[in-house]
Structure 1
């Protein structure tokens, strides 16, 4: 890992550490899921949010937000695909959560892997 990557990772971890509990623990868990699902992604701060990109200079693909609700989002830089079915041409790009169970963990990992595919 380059020193720039280490510095960016440190900034992301500091941002998460500054959150109040129980959100801090949940966001740390989501960060860990993202890094396990796509270990080549580079964490960094993007528009004030923890984010993950293919490289330190590439646009972010995945972001985490700590607003009224916690949020995992894919950016417009991801090759989004229409959902089909009853959702037709709508493209899922954001998911809100308050806690993470085993099913949510697996779904987040799948979402992140689809973003880097």
Structure 2
């Protein structure tokens, strides 16, 4: 795992799930419901990138509520959610806002 603080924050739109157990629950949470409704995407500033091996990524994706030493920060800056990009080759980038906790409190994907 390689953690990089970005010199310039990246602005994206992302949809987040609150306290998802795993990536399946996160994706179900942010998918449109039967009426085509879903929460609007949120303005998000990515301030840090974490490059993971596929095994590390899969472990996080399967156990998002597990406390982890590398998770910190998050919250809001004005109208923006502050997030960490979690990346792994061949995997979808996840955006994590721990909101001061050490687990996947809010996890999402780019809208």
Q: Which one scores higher on RCO, CA 8 angstroms, separation ≥ 6?
A: 2
Which of the pair has more CA radius of gyration?
A: 1
- TM bucket normalised to smaller: under 0.3
TM-score, with length taken from structure 1: 0.25
TM-score, with length taken from structure 2: 0.26
